Amino acid sequence: MPAIEAFVSDALATIDISPHLRYLLNRKLVRRCTNDFLWASVVISDILANIDTLNEKQLLGLIDGLPVSQKDVYERALGAAEGLQGADTLLLLQTVWAAKRPMTADEFRHSLAFNKAFEYDSIAEWEQSLTGFEKGDKFENYLRKESRGLIEIHQSSEPESHVRFIHGSVSIFLRDPNSVRSSEASPWAERCHLALLRTCFHELDTHPIDPVAFTDYTSENWIYHARDCGDLFDELGELPACLVD
């Protein structure tokens, strides 16, 4: 288990907390460690999600209730008792789940600009806005925190990093109707494709003055999301002007 212990120690080193609290968290986590990077990743994200709202005693107490089984890890990460109520969390999970191919980190980051109608003159202006993300720590921390640690930016041997679930079983878990508790009654798959299609349509309806990394994904794949969202397509209302002309 030394590799897991090193992972936990390195992850805690990136969190802005006192050395004393870091030592206590590390000691307690190492005692609870299973030989599972998935477990460790979600646990660290759980701490990150609560670091600003819980005091030292509460953070240490959080570790006592840590899950052990894979299913329990996911249930805890998604706050199953309350359901997927966080709009950002739900949309991030839907986007990764429905993507026809893994998006590059820049494609995924720029897709966030089109979760609603684009209100900026350029993607650069959006990146520098309060709701936007430039490449770097702000985006990566947001992705990790809002996905409850279930989404990662994976750097492989390819030139560009890609956004994906931390484990293939996350996708299976999310599709299980007994595990995903959202306010929507529609099937998970169709709802995911509708969400990503809506993002694609916002991009098609927009003409920023600078290149958008998400454009290629949209042009290649919107038609497949339109097919796969089934009868939910009717919820979209008007089509983008470029598809009507």
Residue 114 φ/ψ, nearest 5 degrees: -115, 20
With contact defined as beta carbons under 8 Å apart, do 133 and 142 qualify? yes
Question: What percentage of residues in the chain have a pLDDT greater than 90?
Answer: 36
Q: What is the model's pLDDT at position 84?
A: 53
Segment 116-162, tens digit of pLDDT: 989 999 999 999 999 999 998 899 889 988 887 789 898 877 788 99
Sign of CA dihedral 28, 41, 141, 54: negative
Cβ density class 58-82: b for 16+ within 10 Å, e for less: ebeebbeebbeebeebbbbbbebee
| Stretch among 4-13, 94-103, 164-173 having the lowest mean pLDDT | 4-13
Query: b/e for 85-112, b at 16 or more Cβ within 10 A?
Result: ebeebbbbbbbbbbbeebbbbbbbbbbb
Given a contact cutoff of 8 angstroms between Cβ atoms, the answer to whether 25 and 61 are in contact is no
Give the rounded percent of residues in the chain with a pLDDT score beyond 70. Answer: 84
Average pLDDT, the chain: 83
